[in-house]
Amino acid sequence: MAYELHYWPTIQGRGEFVRLALEAAGAPYVDVARTADDSGQGEAALMRTLQDRHQPHPPFAPPFLKDGGLIVGQTAAILHYLAPTLKLVARSEQARVWTQQIQLTIADMVAEAHDTHHPVGTGLYYEDQKPEALRRAKEFCHERMPKFLNWFESIVVRNPAGPRHLVGGRLSYADLSLFQLVEGLRYAFPKAAEKVLAKTPGVIDLHDRVAALPKVAAYLQSERRIPFNEQGIFRRYPELDV
Amino acid sequence: MAYELHYWPTIQGRGEFVRLALEAAGAPYVDVARTADDSGQGEAALMRTLQDRHQPHPPFAPPFLKDGGLIVGQTAAILHYLAPTLKLVARSEQARVWTQQIQLTIADMVAEAHDTHHPVGTGLYYEDQKPEALRRAKEFCHERMPKFLNWFESIVVRNPAGPRHLVGGRLSYADLSLFQLVEGLRYAFPKAAEKVLAKTPGVIDLHDRVAALPKVAAYLQSERRIPFNEQGIFRRYPELDV
């Protein structure tokens, strides 16, 4: 049975980390909210699950995954759950927990990237918090981005199995997620990101290697890949690229 | 061998979620940065590990756990790793992933609670972002706190094994973490939290049940429990309790 991915239909957002894993593994899945409503799918199906009062394990928010009767929410938990089946994580408990740790650190950086355009509140428009966004973006670009990317560089360089992957000698979902993080940073902060990435060649190499994987390359060229836009987590507001 | 917990010595912070799990399970551990420097421990030992250039799996930030030669960072990953040994999670993969999902949602709320006093940047003082903090705190108290706490209420009420626990019929680290979240909200936002918690009796009952567990009660009375203060994640700034 195909997996059901439930996520907002018009943005990459956090759902993209799950999409990339499913696509890279060639796993069958339905992107529910992007499927026609009259098929019983669509955003209405996502909302039905979210609001189902009889669901004992309701997700707090999208993305969530349905695998038969099982529902899993939280991006990092979804990836941790899917990875053994998709062969996107090594088998040992130690490798699984290290991969998860990297994913959670990527998630932390993604949240901080989001907060550059919404520092005061997610319920307000960007236009209502522009001066605050600029202050926050400065700290993000000058302090946080180097700190995070240097950490990713250090772990890819130190990987005992070599710098072709983050964990061991094969592709994991952490590699895919780091690729997506770099994509997002380059989209949102083209100048600031290039400046920092110039000092993290291992991260760039890993990004390029993931982009060249046949299944990933085909996905990125397809209509299934939603373009970045100004409703997602990574937004190109030139005034914040400082 | 005793676990080594590495975390900042003067705040509860994210380390507290790990401390609570270790304490509730009666597991032997050393709170490294709070142990005398001249024993080779202390904050210097934490910094040594953090800055060790030969460490293949360096943590990005505290808290991190050392279990013999293994190092695990990221609070949710530490708990996920420890829980089977500490008997703080059910055995099935499905229960483990659900427990993790709850923990990650608690972590999201903790991050938002932190951002009420540091919306513009973690590198700046609270005093340099007070107007922004007030705007963010208003959204947190009026929108986010009810949304999160209602979700916790719904999952405790819907637990098929009964509302005494979040997952199944026995204590898990998610219960301990929800207890700590309620403690933090009550400390930082006494008025706003009471208002919301009045509508989530299941969450309060669970909190009280955890507080009454003999090992937890003993820990809370001990000097090992650091009091809340204005350097941690949860800070009592009365002007933000709106």
Query: What pLDDT score does A115 carry?
Result: 94
Place of tokens 């600031």: A192
Q: What is the mean pLDDT of residues B109-118?
A: 96
Mean of per-residue pLDDT scores for chain A? 96
CB nearest to B104's CB, from A76, A98, A135: A76
Q: What's the pLDDT tens digit per position in A114-143? A: 999 999 888 889 999 999 999 999 999 999
User: Which H helix or E strand runs over A67?
Assistant: strand A64-67
Segment of A105-109, A130-134, B38-42, B130-134 carrying the highest mean pLDDT: A105-109
Contact assessment for residue A61 and residue A68, using Cβ atoms and an 8 Å cutoff: no
Which of B197-205's residues contact partners 24+ apart within 8 Å by CB, and which partners?
B197/B149, B199/B146, B199/B149, B199/B150, B199/B153, B200/B149, B200/B150, B200/B152, B200/B153, B201/B153, B202/B153, B202/B156, B202/B157, B202/B163, B203/B149, B203/B152, B203/B153, B203/B156, B203/B178, B205/B163
Q: What is the mean pLDDT of residues A96-113?
A: 97
Query: What pLDDT score does A122 carry?
Result: 80
Query: What pLDDT score does B122 carry?
Result: 80
Q: What's the pLDDT tens digit per position in A199-240? A: 999 999 999 999 999 999 999 999 999 999 999 999 999 999
Chain B interface includes A72 (CB < 8 A): yes
CB nearest to B121's CB, from A101, A136, A155: A136
**Residue-wise DSSP of A118-148:** -SS-TTS-GGGSHHHHHHHHHHIIIIIHHHH
CATH architecture of B3-86: 3-Layer(aba) Sandwich (3.40)
Structure tokens at B109: 């709320």
ipTM above 0.90, yes or no: yes
Q: What is the DSSP letter of A226?
A: P
Buried b (16+ CB within 10 A) or exposed e, B147-167: ebbebbbbbbeebeeebbbbb
List the domain boundaries for chain B. Answer: 3-86, 93-223
Query: What pLDDT score does B37 carry?
Result: 83
CB nearest to B74's CB, from A59, A101, A119: A101
Query: In terms of C-beta density within 10 A (0-12 exposed, 13-18 middle, 19 or more buried), how is residue B73 classed?
Result: buried
| pLDDT band of A51, cuts 50, 70, 90 | very high
| pLDDT band of B7, cuts 50, 70, 90 | very high
| pLDDT band of A148, cuts 50, 70, 90 | very high
What's the pTM value of the predicted model, to 2 decimals? 0.97
- Furthest C-alpha separation in chain B: 51
Mean of per-residue pLDDT scores for chain B? 96
CATH classification code of A93-213: 1.20.1050.10
Q: What's the pLDDT tens digit per position in B186-200? A: 999 999 999 999 999
Q: What is the mean pLDDT of residues A141-160?
A: 98
**pLDDT surpasses 90 at B55:** yes
Chain A interface includes B150 (CB < 8 A): no
**pLDDT surpasses 90 at B38:** no
Chain A interface includes B97 (CB < 8 A): yes
Chain B interface includes A139 (CB < 8 A): yes
Chain A interface includes B166 (CB < 8 A): no
**pLDDT surpasses 90 at A105:** yes
- A111 SS3 class: helix
Chain A interface includes B77 (CB < 8 A): yes
Chain length of chain B:
242
Q: How far is CA A43 from CA A120, A179, B118, in A?
A: 28, 27, 34
B contact test, residue of A136, A144, A147 with most B CBs within 10 A: A136
| Integer Cα distance of B208 and B98 in angstroms | 22
Which of the listed CATH numbers 2.60.40.1190, 3.40.190.10, 3.60.10.10, 1.20.1050.10 matches domain B93-223? 1.20.1050.10
Query: What pLDDT score does A229 carry?
Result: 97
**pLDDT surpasses 90 at B1:** no
Query: What pLDDT score does B123 carry?
Result: 81
Q: What is the mean pLDDT of residues A72-76?
A: 98
| Among candidate residues B73, B99, B53, the one with its CA nearest the CA of residue B5 | B73
**pLDDT surpasses 90 at A37:** no
Decide if A120 and B139 are in contact by the 8 Å CB cutoff: yes
Q: What's the pLDDT tens digit per position in B128-173? A: 999 999 999 999 999 999 999 999 999 999 999 999 999 999 999 9
Q: What is the mean pLDDT of residues B37-49?
A: 91
User: Which H helix or E strand runs over A242?
Assistant: none
Q: Could you tell me which residues come within 8 angstroms of residue A86 by beta carbon, excluding any fewer than 6 positions away? A: A21, A22, A24, A25, A27, A173
| Among candidate residues B80, B22, B73, the one with its CA nearest the CA of residue B50 | B73
In total, the C-beta contacts within 8 angstroms joining chain A to chain B are 120
Chain B interface includes A202 (CB < 8 A): no
